[in-house]
Amino acid sequence: MELIKQPWPWYVAGPLIGLIVPALLILGNKAFGISSSLRHICAACVPADISFFKYDWKKESWNLFFALGIIAGGFIATYFLSVPGQVNINPDTVASLKQQGIKDFSGLLPKDIFSFSALLTLRGLVFIIVGGFLVGFGTRYAGGCTSGHAIMGISSLQWPSLVATCCFMVGGFAMTWLILPYLLEQ
């Protein structure tokens, strides 16, 4: 039990994640990705006359079980397998965030930004609502999420996935070094 309570090194976790791609392809010619689950849920639940949701979503129902497994796994990990205490973060990162006004490092996300009380502030609104919208819009615009493009798309040698992954990385670096410090000052 202690084995699954600790973070696994990259050289174990990475190949395990990477083996999902050939397993899905061999077991049923399925593509790895999670963002399409929302489309499947809407196709199953929304009785609207929208062409985007008119397809045989039942053929993709395995993806909904995959998404439910992620949610169940997150719940189990959070409430039964988590180790109490601060998350192990690089001391330089902690010092930099403290200079920007972030002081609570007791969970996976700083409660100074990501909490219901923070949602009622301008900073929280920008991070949670606007950020969530931009992630959703970008996922749809790019034709998939970071995991689908970076893990599945690149491993199956898809040129658009390589371009999308490079853009995700550039966007992440720009957010971290240029936009985030400005937003934390507010």
Residue 186 has pLDDT above 70, yes or no: no
Domain boundaries, the chain: 1-82, 86-186
> What per-residue confidence (pLDDT) applies to 156?
85
Q: Tens digits of per-residue pLDDT, 119-128?
A: 888 888 888 8
Q: How confident is the model at residue 174 (pLDDT cuts 50, 70, 90)?
A: very high
Please provide the DSSP assignment of 112-159 as one string.
Answer: TTSSHHHHTSHHHIIIIIIHHHHHHHHHHHHTS-HHIIIIIIHHTT-H
Q: Tens digits of per-residue pLDDT, 40-87?
A: 888 888 877 888 888 888 888 888 898 899 999 989 988 888 777 777
Lowest mean pLDDT, pick from 10-19, 74-83, 101-110, 150-159: 101-110
Those residues with Cβ within 8 angstroms of residue 57's Cβ, 6 or more apart along the chain or in another chain: 39, 40, 43, 44
Average pLDDT, the chain: 85
Average pLDDT of the segment spanning 159-167: 92
Can you say how many angstroms the Cα of residue 128 is from the centroid of all Cα atoms in its chain? 14
